Amino acid sequence: MRKISILVIIALLFTACKPKSTVHTTFYFWKTVYKNQKPETAALASLKSNFLYVRIMDVDINPNIQEPVPISPISFNDVLPKQIDIIPVVYLVNHIFNNLTESQSLLLANRVSKFVAAKVKQAGKLSFKELQIDCDWTRSTRDKYFNFLNQLKTNPLLKGKEISVTLRLHQVKNLVSSGIPPVRKVMLMCYNMGNLRKYGKQNSILDMQEMETYLKNKLETYPLKMDIALPLFSWAVVFRKEKYAGISKRLSKEKLNDKKLFKRRGNSILYDLQTDYPQAGLRKSDVIRWEEISLKDLLATSKFLSRYLNPEDRNLVFYHLDTDLLKTFKHDNLQKVIDNF
């Protein structure tokens, strides 16, 4: 018994001796219109955030001209608060790199650089220090994507600015085939882990078993500086005849609890629609899978990550900044998650 106690004490001492990371906390802003909402600005202030990751646009192929074009770019009804720096984010749909030539890639890098610079000015900022590129690259698109990143780094409009990229779990696990992007740091996206389109009871936003499978014993050896993104969002995934039919933006947890409309399957996250619901574009017998994140999920995730991440100065980013989400995830709860790092 004494021997066991000594081993426990030694383990605790090793844990206590592990250096803590210096964590800079903020949010993603992922809407198409920016308005200065008081609860959102207050949340940034409460976490002592002095920067915000702002999605500028998606980039996808226009089928009519067969060229990459901006999709749903952000517009600014208000400028960002004076004390908040902007980190622009551009999401690139992976398939744009399938047939991209060298000259097309160079043109795309130039257009992205110009578009981002213009949007930063619209946000009320004279400049920015970092541009983040969000792309779920694959083995087949890796080389062209990495070449594009190098073209961005040499673009005159981005001189002196850091280029960072997002990183998915499979790109950590399959390091050899995924490759190492030609940047200094990455943002590990700790959400959207499962198969959203697969019918069943799983939560595709966050799955601790998947995280352990993909990341355990891989994080410490990843060769680039790593920031972390954690989810705060929820969504209603629609299935029709057990086939994925999209995400409904018209449904809330409260609406799903309306027994005149929906019948929950026991204690599961599946709900059966009892009648046609044309206001939401739904039909009788559609199945809704309500996926959400709890504080318990976030605490478990942050504890797991802190166990395997190298202690270092890093950004912790919550996805995403939204007044309604802040009603659920209040400052004290978010601080508990932050403290785990």
pLDDT in tens, 4-46: 555 445 444 444 556 677 999 999 999 999 999 999 999 999 9
The pLDDT > 90 percentage for the chain reads 93
Q: pLDDT tens digit string along 188-205?
A: 999 999 899 999 999 999
Classify strands 225-231 and 185-189 as parallel, antiparallel or unpaired. Answer: parallel
The pLDDT > 70 percentage for the chain reads 94
Q: What is the pTM of this model?
A: 0.92
The fold adopted by the segment(s) 20-230+295-339 is TIM Barrel (3.20.20)
Give the mean model confidence (pLDDT) for residues 166-180: 97
CB 181 within 8 A of CB 151: no
Closest CA to 303 of 263, 262, 336: 336
Q: pLDDT tens digit string along 63-115?
A: 999 999 999 999 999 999 999 999 999 999 999 999 999 999 999 999 999 99
pLDDT of residue 21: 78
What is the torsional sign of CA 228, 151, 161, 43? negative
Is the pLDDT at 1 greater than 70? The verdict is no
For 12, other C-beta atoms within 10 Å of its C-beta total 10
Q: What is the mean pLDDT of the chain?
A: 94
pLDDT of residue 11: 47
Cα gap 101→207, rounded to integer Å: 38
Which residues share a beta bridge with 288? 238, 271
The model's confidence at residue 206, banded by pLDDT at 50, 70 and 90, is very high
Q: Where in the chain is the domain with CATH 3.20.20.80?
A: 20-230+295-339
pLDDT of residue 8: 46
The model's confidence at residue 2, banded by pLDDT at 50, 70 and 90, is low
Is the pLDDT at 292 greater than 60? The verdict is yes
